[in-house]
Amino acid sequence: MNTLPDFPWDRLEQHKERAGAHPDGIVDLSVGTPVDPVPQLVQNTLAAAANSPGYPLTHGTKELREAAAGWLRRRHDVTVDASDVLPLIGSKEFVAWLPTYLGAKRVVFPELAYPTYEVGARLSGAAPMASDGLLALGPQHVDLVWVNSPGNPTGRVLPPEHLRKVVAWARERGTVVASDECYIELGWEEQPVSILHPDVCDGSHEGLLAVHSLSKRSNLAGYRAAFVTGDPALVRRLLHVRKHAGMLMPGPVQAAMTVALGDDEHVDAQRELYAARRARLRPALERAGWRIDHSTAGLYFWASNGENAWDQVSKLSEIGILVAPGDFYGPAGKRHIRIAMTATDERISAAVRRLQ
Ligand SMILES: Cc1ncc(COP(=O)(O)O)c(C=O)c1O
Question: Distance (Å, rounded) from C-alpha 115 to C-alpha 92?
Answer: 10
Nearest of 153, 179, 151, 150 to residue 164 by alpha carbon: 179
Q: 10 Å Cβ neighbour count for 140?
A: 9
- Residue to probe by mutation, ligand 1, list 109, 211, 213, most atoms within 8 Å of CB: 213
- Residue to probe by mutation, ligand 1, list 89, 92, 184, most atoms within 8 Å of CB: 92
Q: What share of the chain is helix, strand, coil (3-state, %, to 5)?
A: 45, 15, 40
pLDDT of residue 9: 81
pLDDT of residue 290: 98
In angstroms, what is the span from residue 116 Cα to ligand 1's centroid? 9
pLDDT of residue 139: 87
129-178 per-position pLDDT tens digit: 999 988 888 889 999 999 999 999 999 999 999 999 999 999 999 999 99
CB distance 181 to ligand 1 below 6 Å: no
Give the residue, by CA position, lying nearest to ligand 1 atom 16: 152
pLDDT of residue 7: 80
CB distance 214 to ligand 1 below 6 Å: no
H-helix or E-strand spanning residue 105: none
CB distance 220 to ligand 1 below 6 Å: no
CB distance 114 to ligand 1 below 6 Å: yes
pLDDT of residue 135: 81
pLDDT of residue 269: 98
For residue 225, the ligand 1 atom closest to its alpha carbon is: 11
Residue 312 CA, chain-centre distance (Å), reads: 24
∠ CA 236-130-142 to the nearest 5 degrees?
Answer: 45
Query: Chunked in runs of 10, what are the mean pLDDT values of the chain (356 residues)?
Result: 75 96 98 97 98 98 98 98 98 98 98 97 97 87 98 98 97 97 98 98 97 98 98 98 98 98 98 98 98 98 98 98 97 98 98 97
